[in-house]
Amino acid sequence: MKLSEILRQFGNAVTNHSLTSNPDHDPEITGVAGIDEASNGTLSYVEGAKFGSFVAKTNASALILPQDEKLQVLAQERGIVWLTTPEPRLLFAKAIALFYQPYRPIPEIHPTAVIHSTAKVGNDVYIGPHAVIQQRVEIGDGAIIHPNVVIYPDAKIGDRTTLHANCTIHERTRIGADCVIHSGAVIGAEGFGFVPIQTGWFKMEQSGYTVLEDGVEVGCNSGIDRPAVGETRVGRNTVIDSLVQIGHGCKIGSGCAIAGQVGMAGGVQLGNRVILAGQTGIVNQVKMGDGAMTSAQTGIHSDVAPGEVVCGSPAIPYKLYLKVCAVYSRLPDMYQSLKQLQRKFKDSPGD
């Protein structure tokens, strides 16, 4: 499609563009690509001035740019059509959606699917080969259940939710509308509840619920456990990467982002818009306030205030962590200086 057509679909998100001064330079756009891999006919983007070197050498036909006149001039000099927006990455994401839509099967129930007679299946639902839908399960309108999915008794799946192949939804789990559960994820399995006794461990039955509110996305091979009593809850529009473990009784707010290999023990509470970088670990019962963030491999052992950014293990505030890192890199020199001082005092005559 012509770039001018793409501009019309973007609407008010575009604040300026080169077609205003040169309407005849309206290239045909056949796809999207990363700035360093772009070729003739593709649309790409840069987020800021630090990526100006890519503008100087990219083969893209058109670029989404931030509101930076120097980048606009550079693109113009290279004959690249450009458009500007306050959020280039967001607009690029919308551009991808113009050229690619994920596979969505036609509604049908495959003859090899096993659906209990007490289950309730909504309208326009797809249920793939060898899926198993057990007693009293409820599936909303427009849901997609891919092959080999297993849904245990009394679970509820909301409208337009997608369960990808080989994920497992355990008993009495509640999943809202417009959620996506990726392959291998296990939602609502038994929490890790054992009471120590003289002969080993007594198993505490996990009678609670796991609840995913609307718009939650869970990555491949992640687990969200149900508690002994009460519920584990994930707030609306929270996104969870692959290989994440969320323990029993956790309460996660809305709009959170949890990266791969994060692990949180039981009873953790996250506020809204919390961001956990990869391999963050959180001990049980810790609370993190709204907007708090971690860096990769952070170990959290105590509560984190709203808006605070923490790093390291045990976690400390970001600015302090930078100072600690600066000192850490100098430890070998400091150690040598200490040894020299020790020798000096050892060799000096006594008083």
pLDDT in tens, 235-257: 999 999 999 999 999 999 999 99
3-state secondary structure of 321: helix
The per-residue pLDDT of the chain, averaged, comes to 94
Give the pLDDT band of residue 166 (cuts 50, 70, 90): very high
Share of the chain above pLDDT 70, in %: 99
Query: For residue 78, which of 52, 50, 48 has the smallest C-alpha distance?
Result: 52
pLDDT tens for 289-319 read 999 999 999 999 999 999 999 999 999 999 9
- Predicted confidence at residue 350, as pLDDT, reads 57
* Sheet with 114-115, edge to edge strand ranges: 114-115, 132-133, 150-151, 168-169, 186-190, 223-226, 245-246, 263-264, 281-282, 299-300
Strand, helix or coil at 213?
Answer: coil
* pLDDT tens per residue, range 38-88: 999 999 999 988 888 899 899 999 999 999 889 999 998 899 999 999 999
- 8 Å CB contact between 101 and 119: no
| Residue-level pLDDT at 51 | 85
DSSP, collapsed to helix, strand or coil, labels residue 130 as: coil
Model pLDDT, residue 326: 86
Whole-number Å distance between alpha carbons of 264 and 279: 10
Closest CA to 189 of 211, 210, 212: 210
What integer pLDDT is reported at residue 349 of this predicted model? 65
The residue whose two tokens read 């967001």 is 90
> Is residue 248 annotated as part of the catalytic site, yes or no?
yes
d(CA 271, CA 253): 5
**Residue 340 φ then ψ, to 5°:** -65, -40
pLDDT at 228 over 80: yes
C-alpha closest to that of 85 among 66, 70, 98: 66
Amino acid 330: pLDDT: 87
Give the single-character DSSP code of 348.
Answer: S
Query: For residues 123 and 104, is the Cβ–Cβ distance under 8 A?
Result: no
Q: 88-99 and 3-10 helices cross at what angle (nearest 10)?
A: 120
Write the CB contacts of 173 (distance below 8 Å, at least 6 apart in sequence).
152, 155, 156, 187, 188, 209, 210, 211, 212, 226
pLDDT digits (tens, 9 = 90+) for 3-15: 999 999 998 899 9
Interior angle at CA 177, CA 174 and CA 180, nearest 5: 85
Higher pLDDT, 21 or 202: 202
d(CA 222, CA 263): 10
329-346 tens-digit pLDDT = 888 888 888 888 888 887
Look up residue 254 and give its two tokens.
């809305």
For the ranges 98-102, 232-236, 274-278, the lowest mean pLDDT is seen at: 98-102
Average pLDDT estimate for 106-113: 97
CATH class of 167-310: mainly beta
Single out the catalytic residue among 17, 164, 170, 248.
248
3-state class (DSSP) for residue 134: coil
Average pLDDT (191-206) is: 95
Pairing of strands 223-226, 174-175: unpaired
pLDDT at 351 over 70: no
Q: DSSP of 29-93, one letter per residue?
A: --EE--TTT--TTEEEE--SGGGHHHHTT---SEEEE-S-HHHHHHHHHTT-EEEE-S-HHHHHH
Locate 213 and state its tokens: 């509110």
Residue 22 scores a pLDDT above 90: no
Sorted by where each begins, the domain ranges of the chain are 3-99, 167-310, 318-350
pLDDT at 23: 82
> In the prediction, which pLDDT does 329 show?
84
CA atoms within 13 A on the CB side of 308: 17
More confident call, 147 vs 348: 147
pLDDT of 275 reads 98
**pLDDT at 306 (0 to 100):** 97
Does CATH place domain 3-99 in 3.40.50.300?
no
